[in-house]
Chain A
């Protein structure tokens, strides 16, 4: 070894090594510098991002849904409450073999094809890691027991309880209260996700929709720390949910049921209003549907059946159904004429049974005109024109008033606009005017149009709710109060609810009209052609004084493209029967509008219904045994 070494240039080798080691050291220093720069970049420059990402990793925000506010009727009976329900939820990440899990589960719980489809869809997605998604809703006790007994087979699946909406009165108040629906993909886009965290339902109709914010309450949160497997480690912070506010409606379930009984199985709508407050005491639309069926998601088949039914049970006739008012419009026209000084209460005219516009051949006939031309009401003043429902008088009166006065006068009773305060779906009806006809029909207003409007026919359309509101205004002697459902004011609504004065109709113009309406009901035993039109049907044995007016509306049309058998067509082409009323006359407590689709004569068909309702409200109510479920106050 020594020899070999002797031949080597130790000094040079040493120099080479020193040089190489120095270069190496510098190189390593650079590498370490690179590491420090990298880690410094992560820890200083990207610090905030990293902290939020690490928090996102470990912190899960779990929503604590509030309890939806309850809805009571005026006597504290529950209209909408919440019942416990159990869902089957799944966490996609925790399912090891989704095909086998589904096989076993569908066999165990006898899942329907819809449910199987839903499971497949959910098992694939998952927006957030370890989010529990609902697969099966509202499990029966049997299914819960079946599942729990075999739980070990189904990692990633569990039963979770919660409260869901329940409507104890079922279809009776469906159209009055509205309902909640499961939040769908379209809702999800418009709703604020944080407001609805952990919640499956949103108010979709009626009061449930209008007072959604108040009923909803405020979501509480648990901020929990989870590990990478989604297991909860501890709770970091939590906010309690604030339960939704309760609603107390004017609605009177007893009255609603009385209205329902009175209507029987006929199609129609009834709206009753407390004139002083505008509170809706009853709001009925028949046929109806069970809102509970919609809460957990109705099957396509059941839904299509409801939707395609010729009776249109989903259609809210009371607030959306638009009908010609017929003769029920007469008292209002009389009022406008009287208030505006166009006529006096004592003026008479001669009714030969027909009316003719000057310079026009067409005959407008009265309802009691006969071919022998011996009809007509003879000498008629305003009151007789109302209690006998004389068409010719109002043809003439309408023409004398002119369309402009008519139209603007009727508007002050709420016709042509949706005035309801908290019924978001209420329709506005149609109040024709010169301007409207030019704009929509692109035609001038003809005098014949005015003639038709005089008896509530032609283009004019009103909803039963509008009719009841107008009658309440009449009962108030001109004070218009927008109709509303809810008595208490839920905290977050501050809209102005003060009533406003309708029209510039002097107060003393009302009495002759109201007297005439009283005669419609009470004027009897006067001989042929002299009694009130409704007296024979409801005027006897009345313990209170009622003002009323009947009406008959032409059927506008049968929906196009629908084929029905002849008897159906015949039935559906009969006229709609109206009756409006309020009572007692001096201190009105209730105003009501009754509409019976294809019911025929207003006095004959609709008036008895109205009387039953008023009887119940003014006479029987307190004696009736308590049949309805009283809500427990929270």
Chain B
């Protein structure tokens, strides 16, 4: 079957240049790669300022990005059908790791999210699920008629709810919701009926009061703070107030890199991680924000194009889900920092300083690249 593969660029035509052959050789999509490099580079620049020009931070982040690109390169070499074949194994593996967090998890801030073998590995199984869940759902739906009938839909939801519940109980509401949304996106792209979605939304709205009582105090506080940050300006509202001041005071063109007063005088919290976009907005202004969002937009369109050109349902759904999930991260993070969503600990993809999430993202992009570069000829 592998003989069937002919590697071809979408617009290759007759004259395939040297460069394109090199990309072909490594199964990379030059467009996607350029966009990723642009975002990562831009992110490093902002991080460099946010970290007060700390070389250590830049080096660590650089190493992570390199590792990410490496991981992406490796995954890009694995043909989608191989990925599809090992998908159920990966999913089960992920589930087992999630279950293992209960007895063996390393507790941070009252929640067990990490598995740790000292000196060897430090792993957050829920991060793995961000990739494994869309994979397994795409794999499952690949062999079903679409739009999914009641039974496959139920099974699909089951595949989704299993890791969702496990992560939710760690407890880690934010990640659980993100994992679930990556699964839900697969269902939506597979043609989940609007009526079903509508009913689901009604259910959520109806359950809202119950949810309000189920979530924890600090979560309730975060939602309240969203609507009225001034009620506790030095406590719960501090982060969001300072973040809005930072963004607003940037104006059109910003105060200039390294000149952000909110960021550099410690008024803004978490400048290197969750609130890094506020640093960008303060120092580079609206122009900087538009630039970054444009890059993210390009990334989405490239991802969607890849998904549209995918050869089978598995690749298509998986590529679509990875792309949209990425965009959801962007929206949730910037929405939170700019005060239209409650504060949830989601980093800005590719820009925030931080470990495992970068690897997860690049794993996703590796899959995108693999799907794109391992196509058969379009008839």
Instruction: Report which A residues bind B (CB closer than 8 A).
Output: 1, 4-5, 7-9, 12-14, 16-18, 20-21, 24-25, 28-29, 31-32, 34-36, 38-40, 42-44, 46-47, 49-51, 53-55, 57-58, 225-229, 233
Q: How far is the CB of A44 from chain B (nearest CB, A)?
A: 7
> Is B262 part of the binding interface, using a Cβ–Cβ cutoff of 8 Å?
yes
Query: With contacts A4-B143, A226-B265 known, is A57 near B245, CB below 8 A?
Result: yes
Can you report 12 residue pairs joining A to B where beta carbons are below 8 Å apart? Answer: A5-B312, A17-B189, A17-B320, A18-B308, A20-B189, A24-B320, A31-B327, A31-B331, A39-B338, A54-B249, A54-B261, A227-B266
Q: Which residues of B contact A225 (CB under 8 A)?
A: 261, 265
Does A42 lie within 8 Å of B338, measured CB to CB? yes
Q: Which residues of A contact B304 (CB under 8 A)?
A: 21, 24-25
* Assembly CA distance A14 to B316 (angstroms): 9
User: Which of these, A25, A44, A227, contacts B286 with CB under 8 Å?
Assistant: A44
- Mask for B68-88, Cβ within 8 A of A = 1, else 0? 000000000000000000000
Q: Chain A interface: which of B4-12, B14-22, B101-109, B293-301?
A: B293-301
- Mask for B328-354, Cβ within 8 A of A = 1, else 0? 000100110011100000000000000
Candidate in B188, B285, B290, B334 with the most chain A CB atoms within 10 angstroms:
B334
Does B145 lie within 8 Å of A24, measured CB to CB? no
Query: With contacts A35-B293, A50-B245, A57-B261 known, is A16 near B145, CB below 8 A?
Result: no
Interface of A is mostly: helix
Does B320 lie within 8 Å of A39, measured CB to CB? no
Does A24 lie within 8 Å of B267, measured CB to CB? no
Q: Which residues of B contact A14 (CB under 8 A)?
A: 316
Does B281 lie within 8 Å of A16, measured CB to CB? no
Q: Which residues of B contact A229 (CB under 8 A)?
A: 266
* Assembly CA distance A36 to B247 (angstroms): 12
* Assembly CA distance A13 to B308 (angstroms): 11
Instruction: Report which B residues bind A (CB closer than 8 A).
Output: 143, 145-147, 185, 188-191, 242, 244-252, 261-262, 265-267, 281, 285-286, 289-290, 293, 296-297, 300-301, 304, 307-308, 312-313, 316-317, 320, 324, 327, 331, 334-335, 338-340
Candidate in A13, A29, A226, A229 with the most chain B CB atoms within 10 angstroms:
A13
Query: With contacts A42-B338, A53-B249 known, is A32 near B293, CB below 8 A?
Result: yes
Does B244 lie within 8 Å of A20, measured CB to CB? no
* Assembly CA distance A32 to B327 (angstroms): 9
Does A17 lie within 8 Å of B316, measured CB to CB? yes
Q: Which residues of A contact B145 (CB under 8 A)?
A: 7-9
Q: How far is the CB of B201 from chain A (nearest CB, A)?
A: 14
Q: Which residues of B contact A18 (CB under 8 A)?
A: 308
User: Which of these, A9, A36, A47, A57, contacts B265 with CB under 8 Å?
Assistant: A57
Does B262 lie within 8 Å of A54, measured CB to CB? yes
Q: Which residues of A contact B335 (CB under 8 A)?
A: 34-35, 38
Q: Which residues of A contact B307 (CB under 8 A)?
A: 17, 21
* Assembly CA distance A190 to B75 (angstroms): 75
Does B146 lie within 8 Å of A228, measured CB to CB? no
Does B245 lie within 8 Å of A54, measured CB to CB? yes
Closest 6 CB pairs of A and B: A50-B248, A228-B266, A227-B265, A54-B249, A16-B191, A50-B249
* Assembly CA distance A28 to B299 (angstroms): 12
Q: How far is the CB of B152 from chain A (nearest CB, A)?
A: 12
Residue on A with the closest CB to B145? Answer: A8
Does B250 lie within 8 Å of A43, measured CB to CB? yes
Q: Which residues of A contact B300 (CB under 8 A)?
A: 25, 28
Does A50 lie within 8 Å of B191, measured CB to CB? no
Query: With contacts A4-B143, A57-B261, A227-B265 known, is A42 near B248, CB below 8 A?
Result: yes
Query: With contacts A31-B331, A35-B331, A225-B265 known, is A51 near B251, CB below 8 A?
Result: yes
Q: Which residues of A contact B265 (CB under 8 A)?
A: 57-58, 225-228, 233
Q: How far is the CB of B86 from chain A (nearest CB, A)?
A: 14
Does A58 lie within 8 Å of B267, measured CB to CB? yes
Q: How far is the CB of B171 from chain A (nearest CB, A)?
A: 27
* Assembly CA distance A405 to B247 (angstroms): 81
Does B244 lie within 8 Å of A50, measured CB to CB? yes
Does A24 lie within 8 Å of B324, measured CB to CB? yes
Does B143 lie within 8 Å of A21, measured CB to CB? no
Q: How far is the CB of B248 from chain A (nearest CB, A)?
A: 3
Does B327 lie within 8 Å of A28, measured CB to CB? yes
Q: Which residues of A contact B316 (CB under 8 A)?
A: 14, 17
Q: Which residues of A contact B296 (CB under 8 A)?
A: 32
* Assembly CA distance A14 to B242 (angstroms): 47
Q: Which residues of A contact B247 (CB under 8 A)?
A: 39, 42-43, 50
* Assembly CA distance A1 to B140 (angstroms): 12
Q: Which residues of B contact A16 (CB under 8 A)?
A: 146-147, 190-191
Q: How far is the CB of A173 from chain B (nearest CB, A)?
A: 50
Does A21 lie within 8 Å of B320, measured CB to CB? yes
Does B338 lie within 8 Å of A38, measured CB to CB? yes
Does B331 lie within 8 Å of A32, measured CB to CB? yes
Residue on A with the closest CB to B146? Answer: A13
Does A47 lie within 8 Å of B249, measured CB to CB? yes
Does B249 lie within 8 Å of A35, measured CB to CB? no
Candidate in A29, A57, A229 with the most chain B CB atoms within 10 angstroms:
A57
Does B146 lie within 8 Å of A46, measured CB to CB? no
* Assembly CA distance A34 to B331 (angstroms): 9
* Assembly CA distance A393 to B11 (angstroms): 132
Residue on A with the closest CB to B327? Answer: A28
Does A24 lie within 8 Å of B189, measured CB to CB? yes
* Assembly CA distance A31 to B338 (angstroms): 13
* Assembly CA distance A103 to B319 (angstroms): 66
User: Which of these, A5, A32, A38, A55, contacts B297 with CB under 8 Å?
Assistant: A32
Q: Which residues of A contact B244 (CB under 8 A)?
A: 42, 46, 50
Does A34 lie within 8 Å of B340, measured CB to CB? yes
Residue on B with the closest CB to A93? Answer: B234
* Assembly CA distance A433 to B300 (angstroms): 98
* Assembly CA distance A9 to B308 (angstroms): 16
Q: How far is the CB of A562 from chain B (nearest CB, A)?
A: 54
Q: Which residues of A contact B147 (CB under 8 A)?
A: 16
Q: How far is the CB of B60 from chain A (nearest CB, A)?
A: 24
* Assembly CA distance A55 to B262 (angstroms): 9
Does A43 lie within 8 Å of B286, measured CB to CB? yes
Does B246 lie within 8 Å of A54, measured CB to CB? yes
* Assembly CA distance A279 to B72 (angstroms): 95
Q: Which residues of B contact A47 (CB under 8 A)?
A: 248-249, 251-252
* Assembly CA distance A619 to B145 (angstroms): 127
* Assembly CA distance A4 to B266 (angstroms): 59
Q: How far is the CB of A280 from chain B (nearest CB, A)?
A: 55
* Assembly CA distance A58 to B268 (angstroms): 12
Q: Which residues of B contact A40 (CB under 8 A)?
A: 286
* Assembly CA distance A57 to B290 (angstroms): 27
Q: How far is the CB of B195 from chain A (nearest CB, A)?
A: 15
Supplied contacts A17-B316, A20-B320, A28-B324, 5 more A-B pairs, CB within 8 Å: A4-B143, A21-B308, A53-B248, A54-B249, A225-B261
Does B281 lie within 8 Å of A39, measured CB to CB? yes
* Assembly CA distance A35 to B247 (angstroms): 12
Residue on B with the closest CB to A16? Answer: B191
Q: Which residues of B contact A53 (CB under 8 A)?
A: 245, 248-249
